[in-house]
Structure 1
């Protein structure tokens, strides 16, 4: 056999996808309980009709072709305006690249700044999509236990892991899977630390709009632009998962390198999806209502678990609940739960924490509560 990139030997298809595929086998089984699939973090809330209708009209009326490499100027201008209005951060359109979803944004950022032999730090629990990208870059992901600080990274913890090989930190707040957010104090201290130590932050802020309390403390700040690459998108905030549209923001200096990777990976994002994103930013008022729905789901499921004596990390944002299962094998737990209760969840080992499972809050409330009751029943029946 001809040689394949050896880094791929260290990469597996994600546990999330494996469990989701296993769950699909139960979908058409009519006997027993109905399958409730809480694996994939794909919003179930409807996409705005304004976005659909105006994009459809655009498709019929416009000549469709490639956009500029960095994306449609009007969309980049609207994103820049958004960050100024919401966070008082000065962003220019030529500091933005429109990407094929936030995943391409992450991949582009990592390919741009990470070299073989580098180390990249990230707090646990960690979204499993980061490590394969780091491995493909020939680097190593260093996973940091943050449980003593309520799963929030602090400078004190960071200092224990930084060495001469440290090139970057990947952060994800609000967190997938925990729903934890970062405080303004910790955000500011981390920014100051990376600037002093010439370290990049790749900040995945795709859940920034889905907050249940407080405000989002973005890492994109005026005085730290040369250290930060921000990644965001429209899949979670506007339920535009199938449109595959995201963006990266950095200083112009970094952006001039990011655009090279972006060009030779995808050329440019779909001009149709870019039009949909532009309409979402300018005309969609759906976010507040969606957050209200996610918040009610999170509170009701969390309270149900707590009342049953089952611990979970109380989410302050995102669309998940991370539930403690005590000591045990989370993959085996998830497999047995699926088999006996027809509830599909993601084992915590996928996020580097084997004593948890993740529930996605992407089903109707009644179905979520039914799934929660089945999980409680399963845990109680398996307690020694």
Structure 2
């Protein structure tokens, strides 16, 4: 069998690879603690469950419009009005089977072979591969390792006649950064100046810490409306990862093209999952806030512990549920037979030596760092930090 060039060069998502390896070790009887998966440990809220059961009882098991049921699209538009004071109609909203398919459909709708997409490191693991699947070129903008902020001058210098889009993700996965208003406004102005589209991945916008407020780019630069596509969804804030429901909100012409692609691909998201998400949007906001409060407590716990860790420096997260830590001070050290030379060997040594699973920063285009998820219980976090501290003190 001969495979296509694009599938041959595709790399598996590192987040899944590590999670599956940790699961294999558990099956072998090893007590592995996972800080690798970006998935809340909460069960979906009662409002979601009730809406799904009501939809099943009503027999709503048929195909939906490719863009999603109009009631859910209207509720998403209403949410963007109440949350960000942005006016969208259901024709400017579509629902997909998670955020990833919508990101990919946006790339397919905007990129020709040979075009360029600007990615800001550290970046979500799938951006790079999705751009390459479109036979386009990812252009990676490196950030300041001390702050993980990008430079507008670097973005400007990277723009060429082949540039078509910029990926913006805040709160950022893996760093938890929320970029300054000045940086976001500057990015919007560059998009308008060069006729680029900003794909604004704000899937973590409800999970913010320490009194911070996440602001949508169009709150800061409303004149960029025709240059911004928002990607959001139910997975993270509503603890609905397995339901696979994402939202895309943006210019009607782009939404129409993406809907056409979806019609030829998945035909649309699960009908029952869509009605479940509608229940969450309409009746689950208090539950979302309670889960966000729990993430705040977990963030406080893990950062207190990391403050006392030798050899590590971390970027304080402002949102999402990740810690992105700098492991470069461990390079050149050993744990048993494992020589630590980079972020990948560091994570391997941590997994083998302390049975704690994390993700190398290289997967996010930021070598030298590693990502820990605190979307797990405080008991797991505490035990994982105990193990990590012992591991670090035992390095030679």
- 1:22-56: per-residue Cα shift (whole Å, max 9, x none)? 1112214446xx32011111110121122112311
Contact 1:232–1:248 at 8 Å: present in 2 too? yes
Contact 1:220–1:230 at 8 Å: present in 2 too? no
2:216 paired residue among 215, 218, 225: 218
- 1:263-290: per-residue Cα shift (whole Å, max 9, x none)? 1111121111110110000001211111
Once residues 56 and 303 of structure 1 are traced to their aligned partners in structure 2, the CA distance between those partners, rounded to angstroms, is 41
- How far residue 61 of structure 1 moved from its aligned partner, in angstroms, is 2.0
- Give the aligned partner of residue 15 of structure 2: 16
- How far residue 307 of structure 1 moved from its aligned partner, in angstroms, is 2.0
Greater Cα offset, 341-350 or 146-155: 146-155
Once residues 297 and 342 of structure 1 are traced to their aligned partners in structure 2, the CA distance between those partners, rounded to angstroms, is 20
Query: For residues 64 and 30 of structure 1, do their structure 2 counterparts lie closer, same or farther at Cα, with a shift above 3 Å needed?
Result: closer
- How far residue 323 of structure 1 moved from its aligned partner, in angstroms, is 1.3
- Give the aligned partner of residue 321 of structure 1: 323
- How far residue 157 of structure 1 moved from its aligned partner, in angstroms, is 2.6
- 1:217-271: per-residue Cα shift (whole Å, max 9, x none)? 2134542222111111100010000100011111112222222112111112111
- 1:319-365: per-residue Cα shift (whole Å, max 9, x none)? 11111111431221111211111111111111122211111112211
Q: Count how many residue pairs are aligned between Structure 1 and Structure 2.
A: 380
Look up the SS of the partner of 2:158 in the other structure.
Answer: coil
1:105 and 2:107 are equivalent in the alignment: no
- Give the aligned partner of residue 367 of structure 1: 380
Greater Cα offset, 108-117 or 37-46: 37-46
- Structure 1 segments (4+ residues) deviating >3 Å: 28-31
- How far residue 119 of structure 1 moved from its aligned partner, in angstroms, is 1.0
- Give the aligned partner of residue 197 of structure 2: 200
- Give the aligned partner of residue 178 of structure 1: 175
The within-5 A match list for 1:158-169 is 158-169=155-166
Once residues 158 and 196 of structure 2 are traced to their aligned partners in structure 1, the CA distance between those partners, rounded to angstroms, is 13
Once residues 20 and 255 of structure 1 are traced to their aligned partners in structure 2, the CA distance between those partners, rounded to angstroms, is 33
- Give the aligned partner of residue 38 of structure 1: 35
Contact 2:229–2:249 at 8 Å: present in 1 too? yes
Query: For residues 5 and 80 of structure 1, do their structure 2 counterparts lie closer, same or farther at Cα, with a shift above 3 Å needed?
Result: same
Once residues 125 and 365 of structure 1 are traced to their aligned partners in structure 2, the CA distance between those partners, rounded to angstroms, is 26
Instruction: Return 5+ residue gaps in structure 1 as ranges.
Output: none
After superposition, the CA RMSD in angstroms is: 1.6
The within-5 A match list for 1:52-91 is 52-91=49-88
Once residues 281 and 150 of structure 1 are traced to their aligned partners in structure 2, the CA distance between those partners, rounded to angstroms, is 34
Look up the SS of the partner of 1:26 in the other structure.
Answer: helix
